[in-house]
Structure 1
Amino acid sequence: MKIIKVQLNAGLLSWLIDLGWFTWMVISFWDCVTAVDDIRMFKSSRRQNLQNMSLSTRTVFTSHNLTSLRCAEQCINDRTCVSFFYNKKSGLCAGHSITLGITNGSTPAVGNRYYVVEDGEGYIGDACTTTSDCYVTDSECRNGACWCAPGYSFWPSSRSCVANCTEYGYDFTAVMNHYIILNNEEKIENFTFQSCLQSCLSATLYTCVTFEYVWSLGECCLQSITMLDKPDVWTENVIYSSEVVHYQRDCA
C-alpha cells in the first residue's frame, strides 16, 4: 500500500512538474507574442530610418522604465504626439510632435527603435516628394519634408497649420532663402543664431512671430508679422550672396 502511495505521489509530482514546465512555456511564448504585438496593437509602424539612432527635434515628453506597450500608450494618449522612440534595454520612451522623416542631426543610440502612429503618416516633418504626400491642410512639401506653408504656424495640439496662434511656443519652422522686406521690429548686427532666436522669444514690447537670420553676416531681423500679413513684400533671396532663412514661430 505504501509503495502504491509513493508511486502515486511520484507520479503526481512528475505531472505537476510537467504542468509547471508547460505553463512556463505558454507564458514565455505569450510574453514574446505580446511584446511583438504591443506596438502593433496601437496601429503604429516601425521606421528603419532612425534605427539605433536618436533625434531630439520637437520632443514632447521623455519617460523612463516603460514597457513598449506603455510607451505606445503614452504617445497615443498625448494629442501632441505622433511618433516616438523606444529602447527595450533601457525602457526609455521619447515622444515627438512631428514625424521625423528627415534624419539630419541624429546621433547614435544603440537599441533605439522609432515608431510612427497612424496619424503620423504624411504628417508634419514626414519625408515627401510632392505636396500631395502631405495631408495637413495648408502644408506643403519643402526641402524633402512636409511643413506648414509660409505664413502658417504649426499647432501640435490641434495637428494643424494655422494663420494665428492664441499662444506661441518655443519652436520655429524654417523657410530657406526668403524674407519679409522692411518690416522689422528690430535689426541686430553681429549676432549668433541662438542669440537671435532667444531675442525673438524674449521680446516684450511686441509678440515676435517671425525672424530672419543671415548666416554669413550674423544679421538678425525680428518681426511681429508673417508672410500672410504682408504677402506683397514676401521676397525670395536675390540680394544676399549667402543663405538667409526665415523662421516662423509654432503655436504652443
Structure 2
Amino acid sequence: MFCPIADLDFGLQKTGTRCAALCSSSTTCKGFFYHKQDKICKGAQDMIFNSDGCQIMAGTSFYQNTAVTTTTSTTPTTTTTSITTAATISGQYGNICASESDCTMAYSKCLDGLCSCVAGYRYQSSTGLCVADCGNYGSTYIEYRVMRLTANTIIQADENKSLTFCQDACAAEPTCRGFNFGYPTNRCVLEYGTPLTHPSAFNAKTDFSYFSRNCE
C-alpha cells in the first residue's frame, strides 16, 4: 500500500532497517512504506488513520507508532479498503530487526533487516507463523541470498529466464516448494525438496539465491 501522504522519496533501499534509519533522520517523517521485493522506501509526513485514496501494492508494509493492517490485492490498484490499528507486536514476521534476538516467533531469523523464517520453513499469513508445510502453497517467496539447494529438481538448468518467469513457473507447479535463481545466466531451477528435508544439499553459492515458497 502506498498513500498520497507518502511524499518523502527515499529511493531504493536494500533493507527495511536502512529505510527506517532514513525516516528517523528526517524531522518530518512520521512513518514509512517499504516494499521488500522491489526495495521501495517512501516516508510519510502525516499519520495514517484510513486507507482512502491509497494504492494497494502487495508486499508493502507500513511502519509508524501503531501497526496498520489492510486487505491487499495481487495487482496494484486504487481502491478503498477497511483498515484497523493495533499495538505493534515486536519480533513478528516482517518486523524490522538488527539481530536474531529481535525475532521472537518460532523458527524465525533476521534476514536482510526484517524478521523472516529460517530456511526450510515458510510464512503462513493466516496464522502469522513460520511452518514446515502448507495445506496450500501460494505465489510469494522468501529469498535466501548466496544460497542454493540441490535436491529433488523438477526443472533443470533453464537459462535466460527472468525472475518473474521463475516465480510464476513455481507457483503453477503444485509440487514446487522453491527454486534456485542464478543471476549471471538467469538460470531457473525448480525444486521439490527443501532445506529442511535436505539440509546437506543447502549450501552457499556465489551469484545464486534460493527462493522458498510461502503458504497461500
Q: Same fold by TM (over 0.5)?
A: yes
**What amino acid is aligned across from residue 202 of structure 2 in structure 1?**
W
Shift of 1:134: 0.8
Aligned length: 160
Shift of 1:192: 1.3
User: Within 5 Å, which residues of 2 pair with 1:73-152?
Assistant: 86=51, 90-92=52-54, 99=61, 117-152=86-121
Task: For residues 206-249 of structure 1, give each alpha carbon's deviation from its aligned partner in whole angstroms, at most 9, with x where no partner exists.
Answer: 51111010011111110112100101211111xx4xx2110011
Q: State the alpha-carbon separation in 2 of the partners of residues 198 and 117 from structure 1.
A: 34
Query: Going by fraction, where is strand more abundant, 1 or 2?
Result: 2
Q: State the alpha-carbon separation in 2 of the partners of residues 194 and 231 from structure 1.
A: 26
Q: State the alpha-carbon separation in 2 of the partners of residues 116 and 97 from structure 1.
A: 18
Q: State the alpha-carbon separation in 2 of the partners of residues 149 and 137 from structure 1.
A: 9
How has the CA–CA distance of structure 1 residues 216 and 93 changed in structure 2, closer, same or farther, with 3 Å as cutoff? closer
Query: Going by fraction, where is helix more abundant, 1 or 2?
Result: 1
Task: For residues 106-134 of structure 1, give each alpha carbon's deviation from its aligned partner in whole angstroms, at most 9, with x where no partner exists.
Answer: xxxxxxxxx97425432212221111101
* RMSD value, Cα: 3.0
Q: In the alignment, which of 179, 191, 203 is matched to residue 223 of structure 1?
A: 191
Q: In the alignment, which of 165, 172, 175 is matched to residue 195 of structure 1?
A: 165
User: Within 5 Å, which residues of 2 pair with 1:134-173?
Assistant: 134-173=103-142
The answer for unaligned runs of 5 or more in structure 1 is 1-46, 59-67, 72-85, 102-114
Shift of 1:99: 5.0
Shift of 1:196: 1.1
The answer for unaligned runs of 5 or more in structure 2 is 1-19, 38-47, 64-83
Secondary structure of 1:121's match?
coil
Q: Percent identity?
A: 22
Shift of 1:183: 3.0
How has the CA–CA distance of structure 1 residues 100 and 219 changed in structure 2, closer, same or farther, with 3 Å as cutoff? farther
TM-score, L = length of structure 2: 0.63
Runs of 4+ in 1 over 6 A off after TM superposition: 95-98
TM-score, L = length of structure 1: 0.55
Secondary structure of 2:138's match?
strand
